[in-house]
Amino acid sequence: MEEDYLICYCNEVSKSTIVNAIKKKGLKTVEEVGHETGAGQVCGQCQPDIQKLLDEINLAGTS
């Protein structure tokens, strides 16, 4: 299993939390991830990282 780490420092949301939310709920946007997990809702600095996770998961499944 991949190493877990914090993506969003403001709300202390880890990568695994975000990945699980994306997979379980089929999230497609940074905004949806924010609503589900709280990540990206404060300073916004982690939003590119959230987008990367979204791309990895959603693009991998659709090609």
- Tell me which residues touch ligand FES (CB under 6 A): 8-10, 39-46
Question: Whose Cβ is closer to ligand FES: residue 9's or residue 28's?
Answer: 9
Phi, psi of 8 (to 5 degrees): -110, 110
Alpha-carbon distance of 34 to 30, in angstroms, equals 6
Q: Which of 59, 57, 51, 60 is nearest to 19 (CA)?
A: 57
Please state the closest distance from residue 18 (CB atom) to ligand FES, in A.
10
